[in-house]
Structure 1
Amino acid sequence: MNIRRGMKCRRGVVAVAGTAVAMGLVTAPAAEASPAEASALAQYYQQQMSWAPCEPGTPPPGIPPEEWEKLWRGMECATVTVPMDYREPDNGRLSIAVSRREATDPAKRQGVLLLNPGGPGGSGMLMPNNLAENNEVADSFDLIGFDPRGVGRSTRLQCEAGQWLERQTRPTDDRFPAIAAAALDRERACQRAGGGLRPHISTANTARDMDVIRAALGEKKINYLGFSYGTYLGAVYGSLFPGGLNRSVLDSSMHPDWLYYEQSKQQAVAARENFDAWAAWVGERNDTYHLGDSAQQVRANLETLRERLAAEPVPWPEQPDYVQIDGTLFDMMLGYETPYRAGWALFAELVIKIKNAVGGELPADAGKALATFADYAIPETHSGVFPTVTCEADWSADLNTYFDQMRVFRERYPYGPGASAAEPTECTFRSFTPPEPITDLKRDGYPVGVVVQAEFDPSTQYDGGPAMASRLENNLISVADEGAHGLYGRNDCATRKIDDYLINGVLPGSHIVCAGTSPPDVPVDGSATRSAPRPTSSLEERAADLIETSKLDRTF
């Protein structure tokens, strides 16, 4: 759901071709069903998976074939068949692609760990290899990835291309009707292409597919690790199939009561929170950056700079296909580049470069550094899954509700997505009726799990973590003063606690706090400017190093 207007973004990886499914293994559903339902679903629960080395297929644009092939090395792939409609199991079938990396130490094997990267619409096929690198859980669990229904190499839900407008962080009222008309056009386009499948692409049905995967793997229970939207998916699975879930980790959780409009708006709230934290840090170091001596003054000065950029945008050097740095793009940068504390100093330097370039030219090195950040944005999803799953919840059909919120957000929360986080979407004009209500989340019959949340999470705002932990009566790990989205494998303290829980069953405690990543050690008195040697690395190299060390290029 991260938006990068007009800037090249590296796309999320797609799935791999699977292999055929054989029938034969008898494993029962993990939740009780009526005799008729159990009989109708037996053919799906009795599948055996036929594994074969994964075929990488054609690499996405920009990824060399040898690098793409390496990403799949060591994994096996298969498919399972699931009913399109679980209420009428004989009325159509879908194919679900599954990947596996077997436990590296068979003596320590404790079962399977099913993975989901979020989205909705994210591919999980590469997650076993991504997670296995330098990770102790790879010794103890078969790591299982999959493409949810509608995604990647599973039966796909594709939408026709509808109308997309350039996103604006502070649109004027006269633009509101065009924004609504574009959302209506996209909804009609999606319905034309995938209308027969869309009612069956839902979180609950994906959870049911997960239980079929569990049975086809020959497992009585799964362990689960989900990120972002994958936290909600895991909570739904546990609510529907408590007998099938053992240990569960929900990393960077959605709020159980924010489906889905409020969840979208809260991204702009989080962007403002991150900007304010960065502005306060910069203000304390005014002798170094000269952007203002307080958070309020930094914001005032950057608002003035934003007005100048709106009137006189700065072009990207050597990047003619990039949009110019105008007021809207500057708003996005201020929200999207401030969550990661380790990059605060570098971003402050880049803001100064932009400020000095108004009326002139941005230095090539600064342009390359900004482009490097843009290319490693959180991957967007472009199938029909996102504007279908998010429509499983009811959205207001009153356009004035959205327009009123957009007015509020363009004033109070203009950074990152800004007012676009509050605009009407395809779901405002939903063309189908969901066949069932949203799942009532509860933990009744499966063990206590763990929720982990960063204080300044830019995509799933912090309040979602405590709310989900409370709803499920799970343990909560909060990571203080941290702006990362997806903490497992990024924050050492949280990772150790999660590993101890997944591998040894040791819960961290009802609520513990881990320290987040510290900002750069830039003295407040300006001595860094006076005495520090000039950096030997270019801005572009420093941006690339930050991405690598902070694992910002990870696709979950």
Structure 2
Amino acid sequence: MDGSPVAARKGVERFYAQVLSWGACQPYATDAKSKGLFEREGIQCARLQVPLDYEKPDIGTITVGLLRRPAAEQQRKVGSLVVNPGGPGGSGMTHVANMQPDNPVGKRFDIVGFDPRGVGASQPRVQCLTDAERDAQRLRPKGESANQTEQENKFFVERCAERSGLDLLRNVGTRDVVRDVDVLRAALGEKKLSYLGYSYGTRIGTLYAEMFPRNVRAMVLDGAVEANADKVAASARQAQGFEESFQRFAGWCAQRDCPIGKDTNTAEQKFRQMIEPLKKAPLPVGDRKLSHSDANTAIIQAMYTDRLWETAFKGLQELRQNRGTTLLQLADQYLGRAQDGTYSRIQDAFVAIRCVDEPPIKDRATLESNRRRLLELLGNDTVPTDETALGPCAFWPAPHTSEPHPPNVRGLPQVLVVSTTGDPATPYQSGVDLAQALGARLLTYNGNQHTAFLAGIGCVDGVGTNYLVDLRLPETDSVC
């Protein structure tokens, strides 16, 4: 696709010509979190109609949920900035609703968050496990046998097919999300797209840049997911990223009465020892329990930003006293569980999107080969035994619609990639590689967190805002 209006609109002209009807956001709420956020002042919501299947646009339509925070300085407005927070499966609507109204970009742009097809307020949405099934899954021991893991994966896929429908599952991938974004661009009245993507949102941005390079005005990609990543190497890089973040946390913790000790070299081992009893005896927390996997998930969540280190420290102190309240709250935050017991469905969408975005591995020989290679790359024995189990994508009832490949972005203007040195989830080198692949300018932030733009870091916000507003990039790659 060359990015021209004719190539983009063939057979789907009516979707490009639609007029959005903006109104109150409360009717778009799907869970406790969005219900609270969508009552805030100064936001508007709408639905974008798109084809369920772009190859057969006449067989049915679906809708994409939108939330807009109008520019504070309407007389000086540049246009609309489309935002995706990542995931896959994250809600752009709740992300924009939760943004500070006085953020520097919000003065000059209408900021528009969208829930990708199948996600959040978009209809229909991916649904696999019920809230009760998700709670029960968290309490089951993980990785005890490949057979057990495969049975759970089959159950999950069967529920996805039953509750979401095969038509949605076939068409929920990034390829089709990108087509939706181009329809959104036109519906917003923009000749060219201004886009901000975090984490998985960088994959959306990269594929958009490939499919519609001449439709791009400006693009900030923060926390890069590589388009052509070797899956084993990418897994190893991410595992190393979290391990390094944990080491930095352990060093910080060592300056206090740290439950995992004063020696950063043994901190991970002591943490494993602390949570080992939870495998056989999850810790009661009110009418719930903290499982071994929840404790692991809690610490992973805390590694996303050093602003959560204090919370993790408190959780470990509690665990030393046989209490699990704070760690359970951190795990809930990661898994999208609200206080009323409802889940955001981000975990369901995460799997569904990934299963149609990448070729599945369906044979155990490849799994075993990947496991051995992962052990070699990591240089330790922490790879779980269930790495030899077929994942949910091996049983997925729909074909994949994308293949990993180097992006071909001829005609793309120079864009901005932001990468953080201490980012565990999308390690720094991934940003370096993406910037090189796109011919982009690289902004390095020295910090301990996942993504950095519009997080109140003056240097990063200044560079990104100058670019988005005035299309002024630093003359060379730069560091904050």
Are 1:403 and 1:423, in contact at CA under 8 Å, matched by a contact in 2? no
Q: 2:353 and 2:279 mapped to 1: Cα distance?
A: 39
Q: 1:290 and 1:45 mapped to 2: Cα distance?
A: 57
Corresponding residue of 1:248: 219
- Which residue, 353, 357, 361 being the options, matches 1:396? 361
- The structure-2 alpha-carbon separation of the partners of 1:381 and 1:468, relative to structure 1 and needing over 3 Å to count, comes to farther
Corresponding residue of 1:319: 286
Deviations 1:271-290 (A, max 9, x none): 2221222234445x48x548
Distance apart, 1:116 and its partner CA: 1.0
- The structure-2 alpha-carbon separation of the partners of 1:102 and 1:255, relative to structure 1 and needing over 3 Å to count, comes to same
SS at match of 2:393: helix
Give the root-mean-square deviation of aligned CA atoms. 3.5
Distance apart, 1:221 and its partner CA: 0.8
SS at match of 1:161: coil
Q: 2:310 and 2:23 mapped to 1: Cα distance?
A: 48
Deviations 1:367-418 (A, max 9, x none): 5444554454374644753333212211211234435656867994759xx7
Deviations 1:75-117 (A, max 9, x none): 2222232222222322322222323222221232111111112
Corresponding residue of 1:544: none
Q: Identity, % of aligned pairs?
A: 25
Corresponding residue of 1:48: 19
- Which residue, 102, 118, 122 being the options, matches 2:90? 122
Q: 1:311 and 1:368 mapped to 2: Cα distance?
A: 17
Corresponding residue of 1:257: 228
Answering whether residue 478 of structure 2 is matched by residue 502 of structure 1, we say no
204-213 vs 438-447, greater mean Cα deviation = 438-447
Distance apart, 1:50 and its partner CA: 2.7
Corresponding residue of 2:248: 277
Q: 1:266 and 1:467 mapped to 2: Cα distance?
A: 13
The residue identity in structure 2 corresponding to 1:294 is D
Q: 2:273 and 2:12 mapped to 1: Cα distance?
A: 63
- Which residue, 406, 409, 415 being the options, matches 1:443? 409
Q: 1:152 and 1:439 mapped to 2: Cα distance?
A: 29
- The structure-2 alpha-carbon separation of the partners of 1:320 and 1:84, relative to structure 1 and needing over 3 Å to count, comes to closer
Corresponding residue of 1:466: 432
- The structure-2 alpha-carbon separation of the partners of 1:334 and 1:98, relative to structure 1 and needing over 3 Å to count, comes to closer
- The structure-2 alpha-carbon separation of the partners of 1:338 and 1:422, relative to structure 1 and needing over 3 Å to count, comes to farther
Q: 2:91 and 2:479 mapped to 1: Cα distance?
A: 31
Corresponding residue of 2:143: 171
Are 1:59 and 1:68, in contact at CA under 8 Å, matched by a contact in 2? no
Q: 1:349 and 1:213 mapped to 2: Cα distance?
A: 44
Corresponding residue of 1:105: 73
Deviations 1:156-208 (A, max 9, x none): 24344398744889734xx1111012212322332344212222222121111
The residue identity in structure 1 corresponding to 2:448 is E
Are 1:454 and 1:487, in contact at CA under 8 Å, matched by a contact in 2? no
- The structure-2 alpha-carbon separation of the partners of 1:160 and 1:99, relative to structure 1 and needing over 3 Å to count, comes to closer
Corresponding residue of 2:267: 298
- The structure-2 alpha-carbon separation of the partners of 1:212 and 1:311, relative to structure 1 and needing over 3 Å to count, comes to closer
TM-score of the pair, normalised by structure 2: 0.83
Q: 1:377 and 1:435 mapped to 2: Cα distance?
A: 28
- The structure-2 alpha-carbon separation of the partners of 1:169 and 1:483, relative to structure 1 and needing over 3 Å to count, comes to farther
Q: 2:280 and 2:140 mapped to 1: Cα distance?
A: 17
Q: 1:343 and 1:413 mapped to 2: Cα distance?
A: 28
User: Which has more helix, going by share of residues?
Assistant: 2
- Which residue, 176, 183, 189 being the options, matches 2:159? 189
Are 1:275 and 1:339, in contact at CA under 8 Å, matched by a contact in 2? no
TM-score of the pair, normalised by structure 1: 0.72
Deviations 1:312-357 (A, max 9, x none): 85735x6241225x5x5544444443453355466446535534x3
Are 2:29 and 2:38, in contact at CA under 8 Å, matched by a contact in 1? no
Corresponding residue of 1:204: 175
Q: 2:300 and 2:353 mapped to 1: Cα distance?
A: 26
Query: Paired residues, what number?
Result: 463
Distance apart, 1:254 and its partner CA: 0.8
SS at match of 1:49: coil
Q: 1:159 and 1:510 mapped to 2: Cα distance?
A: 45
Are 1:256 and 1:467, in contact at CA under 8 Å, matched by a contact in 2? no
Are 1:339 and 1:456, in contact at CA under 8 Å, matched by a contact in 2? no
Give the alignment of 1:137-152 within 5 angstroms: 137-152=105-120
SS at match of 1:142: strand
Give the alignment of 1:374-453 within 5 angstroms: 374-377=331-334, 379=336, 381-382=345-346, 384-391=348-355, 392-402=357-367, 412=380, 414=382, 424-435=390-401, 437=403, 441-453=407-419
- The structure-2 alpha-carbon separation of the partners of 1:428 and 1:153, relative to structure 1 and needing over 3 Å to count, comes to same
Show structure 2 runs of 5+ residues with no match.
337-343
SS at match of 2:180: helix
Show structure 1 runs of 5+ residues with no match.
1-28, 515-556
- The structure-2 alpha-carbon separation of the partners of 1:125 and 1:278, relative to structure 1 and needing over 3 Å to count, comes to closer
Answering whether residue 102 of structure 2 is matched by residue 134 of structure 1, we say yes
Are 1:82 and 1:95, in contact at CA under 8 Å, matched by a contact in 2? yes
The residue identity in structure 1 corresponding to 2:349 is V
- Which residue, 129, 133, 136 being the options, matches 1:161? 129
SS at match of 1:441: coil
- Which structure: larger Rg? 1
Q: 1:273 and 1:46 mapped to 2: Cα distance?
A: 49
